[in-house]
Amino acid sequence: MDTSSLEYDYVIVGGGSAGCVLAHRLSADPEIRVLLLEAGPDREPFWVRTPAGVGNVFFDERINWKFSTEPESRLDGRRLYWPRGKVMGGSSAINGMVYVRGFDADYDHWQALGNEGWSWRDVLPYFQRSETSDSGGSTYRGGAGPLRVSFPHKQHPTTDAFVQAGTTIDIPRNPDIAGATQEGVGYLQHTIGGGMRSSTARAYLAPVRSRPNLSVAGESTAARIDVVNGRATGVEFFRAGTRQVARARREVLVCAGAIGSPQLLMLSGIGAPAQLQAHGLPVVQALPGVGANLQDHLAMNAGYEVRAGASMNAALSGWRKFVHGAGYLLNRRGPLAVGASHAVAFVRSDPAVAVPDIQLSFRPLSFAFDSKNQLRMHPFPGVQFASAMLRPRSRGHIALRSADPHAPPAIHANYLSDADDERVMIATLRWIRRIAAAKPLGDLVVREDLPGAQVESDEEVMAFVRRNSQTLYHPAGTCSMGRGPDAVVDARLRVHGVQGLRVVDASVMPTIVSGNTNAPTIMIAEKASDLILEDARR
């Protein structure tokens, strides 16, 4: 597609969880011309479509940015691996497909920070509009949206044991984690429909590709946003080895994610002046908050060996995995048609905490990546807990490494820089052990494999965390919405000081939501599409 002499009403940078939503909604008006640019390929490989294929795309550089943090001083100097989607659908094409919205208090807090229109009451209709839940439409759920959201067709008995163990220790049973409240223990839902991943590329983009007013360009890497007299006028990008320009009559919409969006703004001269000048970039708009306020959910995984038959490991190993693979190809069912995490508990690190601040996801299987980055099921029957500290106090930042748009930025996550985050991580392991010991799950447990019974004191727990914790792949906040000196966008997601430019993705979250970030990012884009069209009519 030659875009060198073409103009559009809207140019969208990033065909991920937010960009595909905007392309769908904005192009619904045949009078509006839309261009969607995506740095990765515009195709969906088999392992993207297949829910159990997450491990196969985790290190695939063809569709994955494969970022890493800078050495983290409070994690023994380790560089943590940050996979992010580089394919149409973005990270919704490579994530764990968990559908979690966050607590109502998260969004009420956004509004309390001065972001009018972002309370729970305001955003709930956009969650509903985005989804078709297999539970059907209701007061809290959507029944006619593009995104398919479903429970597995069958729950593993050990997953049932986890849920029952939670209730044994007085965690309230929650029949719908994405319903009236997120608190409690219950089964997870996933962005899966008909046994296939419901990425935003499949859910939002595929049905509207034939619209003549919508142009889609894969393998197109944005280099900078052109700003003339204080207004964004277009996007310069590389495609097929050539530098091209797409002009935007109305707006440029940046949807490149919590890493890519601040990087593109800085490459365009929008950011902290000192950093821009250090890389020889002119200061177009001084916004010190660009790249700041980075937040992420730090994860601590724990694993248990269980009795024979109480794990999916055997079914996903050896000759059995080929039998299940054939079954999946025939009917889109079985172990390959579900996500890795099957159930979840949201609990408090301390009774005085008003809203649960720990997420404990349960897998009736256990695995690790070998030295060749290949996913291997453990040779023993095992289960895993994937935990998250939901509201970290630590803040990091994204910085330019160079003025080259092809160079990855420097990611300073700054994990555990706030002492209270350590308290929450210690409480997390205590909760995991309580549930693992409670009936009926406790009756199935043979031993704790990770971290192991030798890890007991607070100091030993933190030593384990520093050596073994990982990201839960939820970066957010680096183009924060708000009014203060460090805010990057206003409550309508318009970049402060630059007309015709918005950021629409997880980077605009002023504080990270208490749960997985994909569904909230889709919600943000749904709401943004209304804001954009409203402003166009003024």
Please determine, for residue 5, whether its predicted confidence score (pLDDT) is greater than 60. Answer: no
Does residue 95 have a known ligand-binding role?
yes
**Domain ranges (residues) in the chain:** 1-47+80-146+199-295+398-415+476-538, 152-188+298-389+417-468
**CA triple 380-385-390, angle to 5 deg:** 165
- Per CATH, the number for 152-188+298-389+417-468 is 3.30.410.40
* Per-residue pLDDT tens over the stretch 35-70: 999 999 999 999 999 998 898 899 999 999 999 999
Query: What confidence score (pLDDT) does residue 335 get?
Result: 79
More confident residue, 318 or 518: 518
Question: Would 1-47+80-146+199-295+398-415+476-538 and 152-188+298-389+417-468 be classified into the same CATH topology?
Answer: no
- Annotation-wise, does 98 bind a ligand? yes
For residue 218 the two structure tokens come to: 């894969």
Predicted confidence at residue 329, as pLDDT, reads 74
Annotated binding residue 461: no
Q: pTM (2 decimals)?
A: 0.97
- Out of 153, 397, 474, 496, the active site residue is 474
Q: Is 97 annotated as a binding residue?
A: yes
What is the chain's percent helix, strand, coil content, to nearest 5? 30, 25, 45
* Architecture in CATH for domain 1-47+80-146+199-295+398-415+476-538: 3-Layer(bba) Sandwich (3.50)
Name beta bridge partners: 78. Answer: 72
Which residues are CB-neighbours of 362 under 8 A, at least 6 positions away? 159, 162, 341, 342, 343, 344, 345, 383, 384, 385, 386
Q: Does the annotation list 96 as a binding residue? A: yes
Residue showing tokens 């109480």? 310
Q: pLDDT band at residue 472, thresholds of 50, 70 and 90?
A: very high
pLDDT at 67: 98
Whether the pLDDT of residue 455 is over 90: the answer is: yes
Is 279 annotated in the active site?
no
pLDDT in tens, 62-99: 999 999 999 999 999 999 999 999 999 999 999 999 99
Using the 8-state DSSP alphabet, how is residue 171 labeled? Answer: P
Average pLDDT for residues 294-312, to the nearest whole number? 97
Q: What percent of the chain has pLDDT over 90?
A: 91
CA distance 440 to 453: 20
Note the helical H segments in 312-471. Answer: 318-331, 419-437, 441-444, 458-468
The yes-or-no verdict on residue 28 having pLDDT over 90 is yes
- The mean predicted confidence, pLDDT, of the chain is 96
pLDDT bucket at 324, cuts 50 / 70 / 90:
low
Task: Evaluate if residue 345 carries a pLDDT over 80.
Answer: yes
Specify the 3-state DSSP secondary structure of 441. Answer: helix
What whole-number distance in Å separates Cα of residue 145 and Cα of residue 526?
11
How far is the C-alpha of 406 from the C-alpha of 239, rounded, in Å?
12
Mean pLDDT of all residues in 279-286: 98
